[in-house]
Amino acid sequence: MKILILPAYFTPESAASSYLGENLREALAKAAFEMVVYTPMPSRGISVEERNSYKKKVHETMYDNKLTVHRFNMFREGTNPLIRAFRYVCCCIRQFNLGRASKDIDVMFIGSTPPIQGAMAAMLKKVRKIPFIYNLQDVFPDSLVGTGLAKKNSLLWKVGRRIEDFTYKHADRIIVISEGFKSNILAKGVPEEKIDVVYNWVDENAVQHIERQSNKLFDRYNLDRNKFYISYCGNIGLTQNMDMLLEVASEFESIPDVQFVLIGEGVYKHKVETMISEKNCTNIRLLPLQPYEDISHVFSLGDVGLVISRPGVGENSVPSKTWSIMSAKRAVLASFDENELMTILTENKCGLFTKAGDKEAFKQAILWLYNNRSDCREFGLNGRRYVMKNLTRDVGTSKYIDVFNRFKVGQ
């Protein structure tokens, strides 16, 4: 069985969830599936030199020749949203034509980034009569409303809803990453029988507990191992409510033992740097995104790992970083919209949950964790146990393979 994959980004491009695609492709190869990938030359998060080196790697095979990658030329991605959107359109047109010419394809596997990718696959399905599986990692245009980039019933929102409905209608299976996502698209008329819920997993072997004395980041950035650390790792963007986090952090300067470490990149990082400087916050360290091979050190750095967003942003989602925090045996502190994340954390005693935007509750939760270190450690142990039972790499990838096998046997 051969799978056609048309991603907007592909290795060596990196993102917080890049490991999910890599783990899945490796699992598919082991299960004897063949894969063909058409993707643009790498652009995001790599140097000009590395990008240029891929001009000589137009065709590449991986996983004992089970996967073939074909890269096509495309101008480099920038930060301007309009130019980025135009680039997405150009990539989709190119991938449509390449997909139309590809041979012996049994099923397409399409991601939800960018949101027009699913509509492109739907049109390709009409031409090629090939079924497609849609991997819904982000609900568009709802995500635009949550970030304040669009208003409900605006022109952009209406266009987004048309694209969304067209994609859902023609997708043969839709894999969603939470029960909240499932409820969202059920309310939009998607038949339940075509939806599969598969939580994003964590590679439990890649993300493990590292003793503080052995954690290289403390030496790399001259961090005091005796402090109590609240850590955040991930995108530093418009939705993560960094303003509230910095306000709370500044109010903890009277307790020198409590320190905050923010690790990552994003469009709001410069603003965060400016606010730290203006507030003269001495208890906050802002560190760059670390290489994936150091991921255990990253998520083991703090005594507590943060999952935080502005109100209205995380209504249906469960951020994948939650599982990495738990896999590293760290307590989770969530400042998030009330959803299944709250249920998982509270029922399994993996951390504390506060309502998104509730600054006082968030502050008190930090204080409680600081004053109750043994409970904090117990939360971390409970989290690792939950991951090992429900969210391992093998558990997650096997559920995807079950979906692919339905097409293999003609179901």
- Which residues, in sequence order, are bridge partners of residue 258? 228
DSSP string, 170-184: H-SEEEESSHHHHHH
Residue 409, pLDDT score: 53
Record the pTM.
0.85
Tell me if the domain spanning 212-390 has CATH number 3.30.470.20.
Answer: no
End-to-end distance of the chain based on CA atoms, in angstroms? 14
With beta carbons less than 8 A apart as the criterion, state whether 128 and 99 touch.
yes
Task: Give the model's pLDDT for residue 411.
Answer: 47
The domains spanning 2-201+392-408 and 212-390 adopt the same CATH topology: yes
Q: For residues 358 and 293, what is the distance between their CA atoms, to the nearest angstrom? A: 35
Please give the sequence-ordered ranges of beta strands (E in DSSP) within 107-257, or none if there are none. Answer: 107-111, 132-136, 173-176, 195-197, 228-233
Which residues contact residue 345 at a Cβ distance below 8 angstroms, ignoring those fewer than 6 apart?
332, 334, 351, 352, 353
Give the fold, CATH level 3, of 2-201+392-408.
Rossmann fold (3.40.50)
Cα(312)–Cα(328) distance, rounded to whole angstroms?
Answer: 28
Q: Give the pLDDT score at 148.
A: 66
Report the distance separating Cα 236 and Cα 267, nearest Å: 7
Which of 332, 339, 335, 333 is closest to 315 using CA atoms? 339
Sign of the CA dihedral running 44, 45, 49, 53 = negative
> Please, what's the largest Cα pairwise distance for the chain?
66
- Render each residue's pLDDT in the chain as its tens digit; 411 residues: 999 999 999 999 876 678 899 999 999 999 999 999 999 999 887 888 888 888 888 899 999 999 999 999 999 888 788 898 999 999 999 999 999 999 999 999 999 989 899 999 999 999 999 999 999 998 887 777 666 666 787 888 888 889 999 999 999 999 999 888 999 999 999 999 999 999 999 999 999 999 999 999 999 999 999 999 999 998 888 888 999 999 999 999 999 999 999 999 888 899 999 999 888 889 999 999 898 899 999 999 999 999 999 988 777 678 889 999 999 999 999 999 988 899 999 999 999 999 999 999 999 999 999 999 999 999 999 999 999 999 999 999 999 999 999 987 544
Rounded (5°) CA angle 89-14-8: 20
> Where are the chain's structural domains?
2-201+392-408, 212-390
So what's the pLDDT on residue 146? 65
